[in-house]
């Protein structure tokens, strides 16, 4: 069972993590919504998270897209507008620097904000898609953010079906991104999980795939069915 480092003891835990990273030959990072909160993007399942205030199945689902497109479009338009002035924070830039220096090999993320790439990370697996990219749900024609925000129809097929390229409830994860992330995590001898409750399947299965060490960095502890070697909370 991992020892949890928090508060006054957090620096000791950070030193242990630094030793893990120095020893590791293949480190992979997995990030969730908690990674983006310092960029003023609310997370989902913490005490003040977005999903505590609304049922995602009412808006962020393929059923709502098909049955109440206006509600779906209004919800995602508001989310996109809130991202207009959002920038990566220091933690994003640290991870980008780690990749450039070869300290980490890649990032697999549940986040749709694109902040890892904006900070300079190159090898990013977007497991839940990218909210800044727009396509037609039916013909897959690419569109601009402004087309979606301006309530325009698809320029290719003419249908009222533009949407962000995010994974909705009721949809499968992008297979290529998933397989690439899975391959890298199986190679890893260290996985660092940052800012996720690990409640969402199948992403919560990914840390199990490494044969190496597992580290959790999160505001709160998580009740999960496999052990971490180190936990930094708070």
From its phi and psi, is residue 129 left (phi > 0), alpha (psi between -120 and 50) or beta? left
128 part of the active site: yes
Instruction: Please say whether the beta carbons of 183 and 159 come within 8 A.
Output: no
Instruction: Please say whether the beta carbons of 108 and 30 come within 8 A.
Output: yes
Q: Which of the residues 89, 92, 116, 128 is marked catalytic?
A: 128
Q: How far apart are the first and last CA of the chain?
A: 19
Instruction: Please say whether the beta carbons of 205 and 167 come within 8 A.
Output: no
Pairing label, strands 213-218, 4-6: unpaired
Query: Distance of CA 81 to CAs 97, 150, 169, Å?
Result: 28, 12, 21
DSSP letter at 49 equals: -
User: What is the spatial distance between Cα 134 and Cα 118, in angstroms, rounded to a whole number?
Assistant: 17
Instruction: Please say whether the beta carbons of 102 and 30 come within 8 A.
Output: no
Cα torsion through 232, 79, 110, 231, rounded to 10: 10
User: What is the spatial distance between Cα 109 and Cα 129, in angstroms, rounded to a whole number?
Assistant: 9
**Which residues does the annotation mark as catalytic?**
128
């Amino acid at each position: 069972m991992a020892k949890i480092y928090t508060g006054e003891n957090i620096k000791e835990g950070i030193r242990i993590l630094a030793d893990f990273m120095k020893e590791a030959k293949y480190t992979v990072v997995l990030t969730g919504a908690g990674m983006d909160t310092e960029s003023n993007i609310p997370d989902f399942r913490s005490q003040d998270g977005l999903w505590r205030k609304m049922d995602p199945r009412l808006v962020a689902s393929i059923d709502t897209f098909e049955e109440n497109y206006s509600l779906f479009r209004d919800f995602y338009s508001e989310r996109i507008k809130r991202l207009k002035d959002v920038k990566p924070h220091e933690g994003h830039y640290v991870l980008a620097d780690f990749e450039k220096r070869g300290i980490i090999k890649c990032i697999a993320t549940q986040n749709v904000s694109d902040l890892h790439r904006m900070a300079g990370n190159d090898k990013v697996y977007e497991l839940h898609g990218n909210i800044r990219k727009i396509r037609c749900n039916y013909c897959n024609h690419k569109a601009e953010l402004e087309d979606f925000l301006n309530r325009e129809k698809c320029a290719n097929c003419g249908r009222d079906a533009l949407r962000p390229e995010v994974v909705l409830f009721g949809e499968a994860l992008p297979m290529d991104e998933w397989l690439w992330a899975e391959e890298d995590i199986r190679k890893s001898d260290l996985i660092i999980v940052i800012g996720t409750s690990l409640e969402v399947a199948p992403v919560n299965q990914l840390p199990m795939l490494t044969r190496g060490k597992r580290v959790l960095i999160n505001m709160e502890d998580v009740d999960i069915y496999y052990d971490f070697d180190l936990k930094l909370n708070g």
